[in-house]
Chain A
């Protein structure tokens, strides 16, 4: 078991956002977290790595309970996070953005070098010294993923990687994720685009109003159009 989340509850001030979230990710698995805008996908990710301060529950990563650790400590254990809205450092070059993400290599996770990442995202290799602010949306999205991979994570939380990207870039993203998977990185990906999710995921959870309301394999989800209709507006 790579990651196990139990009874995760989160609040923003007085608002209760997540209710008893439970999910599990196996070694080398790609798991989709599906749900509408505002269903709690991003908050789930932010809570797992400790960016949401008011949270309770048990988060076990690689057998260690990390529920009470600060963000940087959780992340430097090998739990990578790729935020939505492409929070790259616009003032920093591509190389420098990667440098921020760099962490020592880890025995139980694939090791990524700049060259390996530039092979994975050829566009980035062509603009090593370009400031992040002067890149297109697709290039920025690739950079955020590459930046997180520089930390040699064994698990990556990918928040809506296909949002706002052109179909062709989304296809490149599919390829990249499949390569990451092949290298041995476990992945949780939050999505609204079911086509995309289907291409990469082994299993899926559906989240609705802060509660997990389905968990199962993609085949199981395909067999339950009622659930898709009720919770996903797909």
Chain B
């Protein structure tokens, strides 16, 4: 574990924070295929970096999740790449990626130094592009998250993840090149989240993550021009939670594999909301920018709730609540 250590002469808030986790007495571990996470809380792709290793007790998270790695190196989108509007945060960072080789050379060693499993997010611009990236990443990382919220250049730019057939194709190809757990991260704008989740499950995925940010087009209130250099960006944060809650509920009823919820999680209560509709784990994205320790807080909060209620699992906690 990368130690969170404050300058001893002038201590900051980190030291007290890291020292006071509250005993992790309850076993909240969750299985994603062959991988066991000691807590069902992890960061969302693109909202975490190894830089946080010195700021928060990363080992209290279930996993680290990388920004999406694409097959070839490329820069991100023009500025502005992100902004905040009343409806939430909108980002069009794009896909600054060094390709699997660049990732393994520069970023991966820093992830590997963190004392948690690394889930490597992988993307592509056509269904055929995913498996080669996963193959190139080889034995690195503990699991792969397939980001299918990417325009399919084989099919007119419609998201790969909105097309069950394309999802099947991606997952089946990746399944052939790795034995590690495969998580498929689905987009919001799909005709049927149940069909998409089932396609992932049937093709061999070990979990689905629901969901990515919601495509949006923020305009500058004064000039009426797009704020983002890329015109379109992804809306994230608390306002998307009621939309994603429904998707998690529907996906959980459609598949047997775990559903990882992602969208507007800020607190342990948000996580419990998702658990109550069927999620097995949660990812924390936007909330980490304002509070770098947000995901750790969620994990600690779940422990605390279970301890307080004297139960051993989140399911029991929810049943107890429901029985009240």
A in complex with B: no
- Measured CB to CB, the residues of B under 8 A from A are none
